[in-house]
Amino acid sequence: MARLKSFLVFLCSLAAASPKCITDVDSAKVELEEYISFTIPDINPRYRLHYHVMPPVGWMNDPNGFSFHKGEFHLFYQYYPYDSIWGPMHWGHASSYDLIHWNQLPTALLPGEEQCFSGSAVSVGETMTLIYTGHVVTDVEPFYNESQYLAFSDDGVYFHKYAGNPVLPAAPNGSPDFRDPKAWKYGNEWYVILGSKTLDQRGRVLLYKSKDLKDWEFLSVIGESQGDMGYMWECPDFFELDGKFVLLMSPQGMQPEGDRYKNTFQNGYIIGSFDYETYEFHPEVEFQEIDFGHDFYAAQTTEHNGKRYLVAWFSMWEVPHPEDVDGWSGAMTLVRELKLVGDKILMKPLDDMVQLRHHTIMDGRLLPNKVVNLPQATELIVDANMNQRVELFLQGVDGGGKVWIRWDPVVGKVAVDRGKGDVRQVEWSPNGQSTWRIFLDASSLELFCGEGEVVFSSRVYPLGGWKLTNLSRLSLKIQAYHLERSVPA
């Protein structure tokens, strides 16, 4: 909040010193931050999260610009502040020193002739550079066009757009779907991948390189659907992890297959090898979902000190968002650390999440059919005999949402069930420990199984805190901790 106030003071001082010093864009930013501050008191807090990044007001979707710059992590996001539904896209902005405690910063990008769709952030010396998709509505079918824009900041707070935008005006095949740049540096050159599609509606990922982020050369198609993986590959990411390369993306249009691909759109990865001489990516392990819950999309990663971190939009398209009547919608998942073990990515909570443990609620055995009440922000560690069926039931103390978590050793599957047939389930083979670590917040549940072999992220909307019932036939050893707030209310 202090940085927000200083930002507003800075802009207002420009206007006071000389009205000519402040532009229409600066005025719009001042008006927007004043609107946000004025609107925050009207937000209904019943579902507001305690330790997940969320918008101060209005709508949030994809994470953008997840990066480390000048000693601080930055997380931007798709943002529409004026309503709790999707609208003309801005970039919201939060920062953190530890990926756990987050500060809200002024809105980084406002739409101009273009809406500011998803993208990434890189450091060029002391300058933070954003590369994002400019989505422009046209009067010619298909009535939009997408190209890539740049914006710069010397302080990591106030951004100005490049006068030479767009720097990447069109896809090689002319497809209007050409978005979500993820940039990185290798050697002395910059690389970027973009999500796109073929002219016969198959998703693909394109690779470019540049010496200055402004003039780009098309290199190759590093991934493409053969007809069974959807019509569009959004939000691609490409990185090296434990000796292999990972193509992470969000395919749209995949058809359900049994337990798999049951969300509106999917998020997953392909493992393979990559050659910077030929610019060819060779898949070695087929596409896998990275999270098996109801609400997880558009994941983006960053690397710092040899560790690879991931965060995703904690929601989904074309589903109800119960918080939207309260003046806001959308959140980010917990940041996870990634490891590659065999042919799978493991996701685990950050080690420093233990800092949020305020006090112990329970450390003992919960007998069958026994109930314990929990605060909105709770961490559970469940240790059970996985040779037998395990079932937990979570509901609101005062009603509202409910969810069942089940383990069936006969079929070897974990399930998260929100009732009325709204089930997500997957096979689980523990690598070592077979405990569950469950993070509950005011309107969310994240389940990490074992070492992170299987993770579920699902939004659930209980009222008045959580009520936990052990529906198993055996007692369960449970540790429960009340977690402190680490994001603005």
160-203 pLDDT, tens per residue? 999 999 999 999 999 999 999 999 999 999 999 999 999 999 99
Q: Which CATH number is 370's domain given? A: 2.60.120.560
- Same-domain status, 327 and 402: no
The pair of structure tokens assigned to 420 is 């009325």
- Same-domain status, 250 and 396: no
Domain boundary pick from 349, 364, 385: 349
Looking at residue 281, its pLDDT comes to 98
For the stretch 317-369, pLDDT in tens is 999 999 999 999 999 999 999 999 999 999 999 999 999 999 999 999 999 99
Phi, psi of 241 (to 5 degrees): -140, 115
- Same-domain status, 364 and 216: no
Domain boundary pick from 330, 349, 368: 349
For the stretch 382-407, pLDDT in tens is 998 899 999 999 999 999 999 999 99
* Residue 394: burial class (beta carbons within 10 Å; 0-12, 13-18, 19+): buried
- Same-domain status, 80 and 108: yes
Is there a domain that residue 5 lies in? Answer: no
Looking at residue 385, its pLDDT comes to 87
Is there a domain that residue 22 lies in? Answer: no
Is there a domain that residue 116 lies in? Answer: yes
In contact, 447 and 424? CB cutoff 8 Å: no
Is there a domain that residue 32 lies in? Answer: no
- Percentage of residues in the chain having pLDDT higher than 70: 96
Domain boundary pick from 305, 332, 349: 349
Rounded mean pLDDT of the chain? 95
Is there a domain that residue 328 lies in? Answer: yes
Scanning the structure block, which residue is given the tokens 């420093």? 352
- Same-domain status, 287 and 196: yes
Residue 444 backbone class (left: φ over 0; alpha: ψ -120 to 50; beta: rest): beta
Catalytic residues: 62
Is there a domain that residue 123 lies in? Answer: yes
- Same-domain status, 281 and 367: no
- Same-domain status, 334 and 360: no
For the stretch 203-261, pLDDT in tens is 999 999 999 999 999 999 999 999 999 999 999 999 999 999 999 999 999 999 999 99
Please spell the DSSP secondary structure of 50-87, one letter per residue. Answer: SSS---SSEEEEEEEEEEEETTEEEEEEEEETTSSS--
- Same-domain status, 391 and 307: no
pTM, to two decimals: 0.95
- Same-domain status, 123 and 264: yes
Domain assignment of residue 90, given as a range: 43-349
* Single-letter amino acid code for the residue at 2: A
Neighbouring CB atoms inside 10 A of 360's CB total: 10
Q: Tell me how many domains the chain contains.
A: 2
